[in-house]
Amino acid sequence: MSEAAGRGTVRSQVVSRESWWSTVGRVSGEPILPDYAGPNVRGIIPALLGPRRKGTELPNWFPEVVEHAAQVVLLVVDGLGWEQLRERATSAPTLAALEGGPITTVAPSTTSTALTSIATGLTPGEHGILGYRVDIGGEVLNMLRWTTAKGDARQRIVPRDLQPQRAFLGQAVPVVSKVELQNSAFTEAHLLGGRPRGWRVPSNLAVEVSALLAAGERFVYAYYDGIDKVAHEHGFGAHYDAELRSVDRIVGDILDSLPAEAVLCVTADHGQVHVGGNVRSPAPEVLALTRTQSGEGRFRWLHARPGAADELLSAAQAAHSAEAWVVSREHVLDEGWFGPYASSVIARRLGDVALVARDPISFDDPADSGPFALVCRHGSLTSAEMYVPFVAGSVR
C-alpha cells in the first residue's frame, strides 16, 4: 500500500456480504444466538493477536484488507448496531464504505459482557461477567459502576479476582479510551494488562492513535462510547444522527492518519432498540415468587424464592410469553447462550428464570435505576441488538 492520501481514497468495498445478510436474523420469533465459533466479537482478538501458522489465513469473515496488515487499530464504538448503521448510512458515509459486514455479539447484548469478551477473546461463560447487574455471592453487582446496594464494592469484590483473565492474550496492548475510564474497577476487570492512553475530548482519540502507530505499535485498541450514551438518553433522532456523524469523522481522521500497510477495524458491543416509555413490571404473580432480580430491562433475571423455581417459570411463561422469551437457567446453559462451557461458580451468578424481551419493551426492577429514563435499550437477542459491524479499511 502507498502512503495515506486522504479520506477520499480509502480502500473500501461497500458491504461485501449482502446476500448473506439478507438471510440472517430473519426467522420470525426466534432469538438470535451468538455464533461463538464463527463470526462473533469474541473471535476478533484471538484472530488478530494469536499465533498463525505460516500459510494460514484469518477467518473467512474477516475483511480481506486485514489479511496482510503490518499494523492494526481496533476501534470499538459502543452501541453501534449493524441495523442502525445500515439505516443511517448517509450520516456515516466513511463507515458505510468500509469493507465487511455484520457479526454477532454475545449474550446478553450488553456493554460489560461484550467488552469483556472482545478484550479477552473469551465467551461470557468463561469470563463470568454475565450482564449489567450480576449476583455475586448474594449481592447484585452493577458491573459498570462496581457498586451493590451496600455502595462501592471494589474492596469487597476485587475486580481482578472476579475476572482474572488478562486481556489481549496477555500482550501489553495500548488502550486508547477516555481518561475518566482508565482507573475504573470495570476497566481493571476487563482490560487487565492493557496500557492505558487517555483522551479527554473526542477529537483527541485519533491523535492518540496516530502517535502510537508512529511509535511502531503493531496493534492499538480504541474505545468510544458516545453513540451508546446518546441513544440511551435521546433515542433515535437528531441527536443520534449528529453523534453518528461525529463518529464518522473520528473514523475518517484515523483513516487519514494511517501509515502505509496499516488497517483500521471497527466493531461494536451491541445494537439498540427504541423502548421509550414501554417499561413494565413483571406480573404480580411472578413477583410474588421472586426473591430478587438482576440483569437488565431487556434481559431480566428473576431469582426464585426457595423451592419456587419451577412455579416461577410456569407463572412467568403464562404472563409474559407473548412479549418475551421466557426461559430457565438450565435452558440458557444447555443451549450455550453464554458459550459451550460455564463453571458451576459462574452458573450460580444467574437467576432461575430469564425474561428476554422480544418486543420493544423493558422489564422494570426498582433497584435498577439511573440518572434518567432510558429511551433506547439493549441486552436481548433481537437482530437489532445482536448484529454489530465488523468492517475495515486502509488508505491507498
The CATH number for 342's domain is 3.30.1360.180
Shared domain check, 99 and 174: yes
Shared domain check, 259 and 310: no
Does 101 map to a domain?
yes
Does 220 map to a domain?
yes
Shared domain check, 156 and 214: yes
- If you average pLDDT over residues 66-71, what whole number do you get? 94
State how many domains the chain has. Answer: 2
Task: Please report, as a single letter, which amino acid is at residue 99.
Answer: E
Q: Is the pLDDT of residue 24 over 60?
A: no
Does 388 map to a domain?
yes
Shared domain check, 264 and 369: no
- If you average pLDDT over residues 249-275, what whole number do you get? 97
Q: Is the pLDDT of residue 184 over 50?
A: yes
In the prediction, which pLDDT does 359 show?
Answer: 97
Q: Enter the C-alpha cell of residue 138.
A: 448474594
| 255 close to 65: Cβ distance less than 8 angstroms | no
pLDDT band at 55 (very low <50, low <70, confident <90, very high): low
pLDDT band at 254 (very low <50, low <70, confident <90, very high): very high
- Could you give the 3-state DSSP secondary structure of residue 115? helix
| 174 close to 72: Cβ distance less than 8 angstroms | no
Question: Where is average pLDDT lowest: 6-10, 31-35, 234-238?
Answer: 6-10
Write out pLDDT tens, residues 333-387. Answer: 999 999 999 999 999 999 999 999 999 999 999 999 777 789 999 999 999 999 9
Contacts of 342 (CB under 8 A, 6+ apart): 124, 125, 126, 333
In the prediction, which pLDDT does 54 show?
Answer: 55
Q: Is the peptide bond before 108 cis (omega within 30 degrees of 0)?
A: yes
Q: Rounded to whole angstroms, how far apart are CA atoms 230 and 165?
A: 31
Burial 308-328 (b: 16+ CB within 10 A, else e): ebeebbebbbebbeebbbbbb
Shared domain check, 180 and 107: yes
Shared domain check, 389 and 358: no
Shared domain check, 310 and 243: no
Shared domain check, 216 and 290: no
Write out pLDDT tens, residues 277-334. Answer: 999 999 999 999 999 999 999 999 999 999 999 999 999 999 999 999 999 999 999 9
Burial 16-50 (b: 16+ CB within 10 A, else e): eeeeebeebbeeeeebbebebeebbbbbbbeebbe
Q: Rounded to whole angstroms, how far apart are CA atoms 166 and 163?
A: 8
Domain that holds residue 332: 279-377
Shared domain check, 182 and 100: yes
In the prediction, which pLDDT does 214 show?
Answer: 97
Does 146 map to a domain?
yes
pLDDT band at 257 (very low <50, low <70, confident <90, very high): very high
Does 170 map to a domain?
yes
Q: Helices (H) and strands (E) in the chain — how many of each?
A: 16, 20
| 395 close to 258: Cβ distance less than 8 angstroms | yes
Pairing of strands 387-395, 262-267: antiparallel
pLDDT band at 53 (very low <50, low <70, confident <90, very high): low
- Indicate the average pLDDT of the chain: 92
Q: Is the pLDDT of residue 26 over 80?
A: no
- If you average pLDDT over residues 17-44, what whole number do you get? 74
Angle of the 238-257 helix axis to the 226-234 helix axis, nearest 10 = 170
Angle of the 203-214 helix axis to the 238-257 helix axis, nearest 10 = 20
Does 31 map to a domain?
yes
Shared domain check, 355 and 331: yes
The CATH number for 240's domain is 3.40.720.10
Shared domain check, 221 and 160: yes
- If you average pLDDT over residues 115-121, what whole number do you get? 98
Q: Which residues is 395 bridged to in the sheet?
A: 10
- Alpha helices, DSSP H, located in 288-395: 309-320, 329-334, 344-347, 383-386
Shared domain check, 117 and 261: yes
pLDDT band at 21 (very low <50, low <70, confident <90, very high): very low
In the prediction, which pLDDT does 142 show?
Answer: 97
Nearest to 109 by CA among 203, 31, 47, 221: 31
Does 1 map to a domain?
no
pLDDT band at 57 (very low <50, low <70, confident <90, very high): confident
Does 2 map to a domain?
no
Write out pLDDT tens, residues 205-217. Answer: 999 999 999 999 9
